[in-house]
C-alpha cells in the first residue's frame, strides 16, 4: 500500500473512508489503517469517500446513498464491471492512493485547451506513429478543478483521462484516427452476458490480454477501423471481430491519459479501470453491451498539434 501522501491532493488533510460491499476487502483496508464502512451499514456517504462495488446491486445502492447525501466528495470504482476480485480491488486502490489528483486535473485542463484549439494532431512515441483529426463540432470530455470545487461523485476514470466517445453509430464520429500503435495492455468490459457471443470469447480475450501484457502488440488503424492486431508472430484481428458485438472493429473512443504517477506500479495483467488513465493514449472498440468494450493502452505516446 502507498504512503497515501498523494490522496490528499484531492481530499486535503481531511479524513476519508473506504466503502464497499465486501467484508474481506474492507478488512484488508482496515489492516492498512484506513477508515472503512460497509455499504449495507450506512444511509449516507461520509464527507470524503472512495467506493468499491463488487456487484451491480452495490453499484445501485451507491447511487441511492449518494442521492441522499447533500455534502459529499466521492470516487466511485465499479469493480464488478471490470474484474470483481479482491486482488483487482486492492491493486486499483493502491494505484488510486498513489495518484496525484491535483496534477492530473491540471493536465486535463491543458489537454482540453489544446484539443479545443486545433483540429489535427500527430501521435508519436514508443514505436507508435499516427494522425488524429477532430470534427470541428466535437467536444472532448474532461474533468477540471471547477468540477470538484463543490459536492461530487465521479467514476475514478474521469479523474485521469480526456476523451471523445462515439456513442451513437448513426452519428458522425467526433474523431478520425490513422496509424500504428505499440500497445502495452488491454482492458475488457462486458456489462451483461450476451448469448450471441462465442462461448469461449472471454477466455480468448483473457489469453490475448495476458500475451499483450507480457510482450506488447502492434495495433494498425485505418480510417477509424482496426485492420490488424499483431502480437509476436500472430494476428488477432478475428478475436476482436468476434468479441466486439454490433459495433465491430470501428473505434468508439479516443482518450488521452494523464496519470503519470502510476507508471512504475502498473500491471497490465490486471483488468483494472485505473490502468486506462496511464499517461499516453488509448483507443477502444465495442459498446460493452452487444459485445465487449475493449481498450488498447499505449503509454508514453505524445499528442502534438499540427499547426
pTM (two decimals): 0.95
> What is the longest distance spanned by two Cα atoms in the chain?
56
CATH number for the domain spanning 63: value is 3.40.50
Same domain for 46 and 171: no
**Per the structure, how many domains does the chain have?**
2
How high is the pLDDT of residue 8? 87
**Alpha-carbon distances of 274 from 96, 131, 144, 265, 277, rounded to whole Å:** 7, 26, 18, 11, 6
Residue where the block lists cell 481498450:
295
Residue by residue, pLDDT tens for the chain (307 residues) are: 445 668 889 999 999 999 999 999 999 999 999 999 999 999 999 999 999 999 999 999 999 999 999 999 999 999 999 999 999 999 999 999 999 999 999 999 999 999 999 999 999 998 999 999 999 999 999 999 999 999 999 999 999 999 999 999 999 999 999 999 999 999 999 998 899 999 999 999 999 999 999 999 999 999 999 999 999 999 999 999 999 999 999 999 999 999 999 999 999 999 999 999 999 999 999 999 999 999 999 999 999 999 8
- Please report whether residue 155 resides in a domain: no
183 CB-near residues (< 8 Å, 6+ apart): 212, 216, 217, 218, 219, 296, 297, 298
Structure confidence at residue 5 (pLDDT): 66
> Both 81 and 120 in a single domain?
no
What's 289's DSSP letter? S
Question: Residue 99 in contact with residue 75, Cβ under 8 Å?
Answer: no
Let me know if 283 is exposed, middle or buried by CB neighbors in 10 A (0-12, 13-18, 19+): buried
Structural domain containing residue 65 = 8-98
Is residue 3 situated within a structural domain? no
> DSSP secondary structure string, 102-125?
HHHHHHHHHHHHHHHH-SEEEEEE
188 and 73, same domain (yes or no): no
Residue 267 to residue 250: CA distance in whole angstroms = 27
| SS3 of residue 23 by DSSP | helix
The answer to whether the beta carbons of residues 278 and 297 sit under 8 Å apart is: yes
Q: Specify the pLDDT at position 2.
A: 46
Q: Do 62 and 121 share a domain, yes or no?
A: no
Q: Does the residue 245 lie in any domain?
A: yes
Amino acid at each position: 500500500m502507498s504512503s497515501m501522501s498523494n490522496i490528499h491532493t484531492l481530499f486535503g488533510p481531511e479524513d476519508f473512508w473506504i466503502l464497499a460491499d465486501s467484508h474481506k476487502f474492507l478488512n484488508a483496508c482496515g489492516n492498512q489503517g484506513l477508515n472503512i464502512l460497509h455499504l449495507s451499514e450506512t444511509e449516507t456517504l461520509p464527507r470524503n469517500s472512495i467506493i468499491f462495488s463488487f456487484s451491480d446491486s452495490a453499484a445501485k445502492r451507491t447511487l441511492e446513498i449518494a442521492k441522499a447525501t447533500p455534502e459529499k466528495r466521492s470516487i466511485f470504482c465499479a469493480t464488478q464491471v471490470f474484474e470483481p476480485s479482491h486482488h483487482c480491488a486492492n491493486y486499483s486502490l493502491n494505484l488510486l492512493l498513489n495518484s496525484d489528483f491535483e496534477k492530473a486535473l491540471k493536465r486535463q485542463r491543458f489537454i482540453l485547451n489544446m484539443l479545443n484549439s486545433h483540429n489535427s494532431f500527430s501521435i508519436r512515441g514508443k514505436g507508435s506513429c499516427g494522425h488524429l483529426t477532430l470534427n470541428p463540432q466535437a467536444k472532448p470530455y474532461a474533468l477540471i478543478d471547477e468540477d470538484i470545487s463543490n459536492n461530487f461523485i465521479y467514476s475514478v476514470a474521469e479523474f485521469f483521462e480526456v476523451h471523445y466517445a462515439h456513442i451513437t453509430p448513426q452519428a458522425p464520429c467526433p474523431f478520425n484516427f490513422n496509424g500504428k500503435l505499440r500497445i502495452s495492455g488491454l482492458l475488457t468490459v462486458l456489462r451483461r452476458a450476451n448469448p450471441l457471443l462465442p462461448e469461449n470469447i472471454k477466455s480468448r480475450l483473457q489469453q490475448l490480454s495476458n500475451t499483450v501484457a507480457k510482450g506488447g502488440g502492434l495495433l494498425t488503424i485505418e480510417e477509424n477501423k482496426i485492420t490488424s492486431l499483431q502480437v509476436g508472430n500472430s494476428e488477432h484481428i478475428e478475436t476482436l471481430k468476434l468479441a466486439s458485438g454490433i459495433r465491430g472493429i470501428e473505434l468508439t473512443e479516443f482518450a488521452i491519459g494523464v496519470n503519470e504517477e502510476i507508471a512504475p506500479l502498473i500491471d497490465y495483467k490486471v483488468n483494472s479501470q485505473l490502468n486506462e488513465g496511464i499517461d499516453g493514449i488509448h483507443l477502444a472498440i465495442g459498446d460493452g453491451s452487444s459485445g465487449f468494450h475493449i481498450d488498447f493502452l499505449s503509454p508514453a505516446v505524445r499528442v502534438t498539434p499540427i499547426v
